[in-house]
Amino acid sequence: MKCATCGADLTGIATDLPFKIGDHSIVIIKNLPVLQCSNCSDYLLEDCTMERVDELLKGIDAKVEVEILQYAA
């Protein structure tokens, strides 16, 4: 697969990404599988991964300031 930004190859890696779920709430998901560009470092989440992320984020109380979760498929 090619990067939409620069056209370089995307490589599968696991990384930690933050998601803002409210005005003052951030969830960090650790070991999240992404496709990352070998040139510009942009990344892409596959549809099945994003569906799982959506499920994880639905279970978070928006009153929590910071939450750290491990990704599990």
**Residue 3 within any structural domain of the chain:** no
CA-closest candidate to residue 46, choices 35, 37, 56: 35
For the chain, give the mean pLDDT: 93
**Residue 2 within any structural domain of the chain:** no
**Residue 42 within any structural domain of the chain:** yes
**Residue 29 within any structural domain of the chain:** yes
Domains of the chain: total: 1
pLDDT digits (tens, 9 = 90+) for 24-45: 899 999 999 999 999 998 999 9
CA-closest candidate to residue 51, choices 32, 31, 27: 32
pLDDT of residue 61: 85
**Residue 36 within any structural domain of the chain:** yes
Return phi, psi of residue 56, to 5°: -65, -45
**Residue 66 within any structural domain of the chain:** yes
pLDDT of residue 22: 85
**Residue 41 within any structural domain of the chain:** yes
**Residue 48 within any structural domain of the chain:** yes
What pTM, to 2 d.p., does this model score?
0.85
Which range of residues forms the domain containing residue 58?
A: 10-70
